Amino acid sequence: MKADHTQRASSCNEEAGAVERAAVASDSEAATRKRLSIANIDALMTPGVRYTCGARAKQLNSNTRQVRASLSQLVDTGVIRHVQEARTGIYWVPTNEEKHQLEQTRRERRKPLTHTLEGYDSELRRIQALCMLIRRS
């Protein structure tokens, strides 16, 4: 009977130790998550290198949801770029060359129209005729 009582007491101590270890692990995980910030993620990204959200989460020892939220904030501020390829999102910090190329394409889009449009009316008539063909009676 006495051996049974000491065995139960030692198992309770083991359970308490496991709970304490879990608490310490969760505290260190919480500390890691606190350190996860937009500035930290941005500082750890190399310009021109493509990253996935899952890879960044593994490198930062964090969960994917938090990393994705931080990456989305960086995309919204324009610090990094994002491309969705199938189910995987690709994130990267643009290089200086990519920044200049993007700025050049933006400037080209903003050029005012200086010439007259040719064939505009005939194209509108063609589209109108096509719409009339497929129109239900």
Kindly state the tokens that stand for 19.
């709970």
Range of the domain at 14: 1-35
pLDDT in tens, 64-120: 898 999 999 999 998 899 999 888 899 999 999 998 998 888 888 877 778 888 888
Domain assignment of residue 95, yes or no: yes
Strand 81-85 vs strand 51-52: parallel, antiparallel, or unpaired?
unpaired
Structure tokens at 53: 């959200």
Indicate the burial class of 72 (C-beta count within 10 angstroms; 0-12, 13-18, 19 or more): middle
pLDDT digits (tens, 9 = 90+) for 2-43: 555 555 545 555 555 554 555 444 545 554 454 567 777 878
Asked whether residue 117 is assigned to any structural domain, the reply reads no
Is residue 116 a part of any domain in this protein?
Answer: no
pTM, entire model: 0.53
With respect to residue 127, please indicate whether it lies within any of the assigned structural domains. no
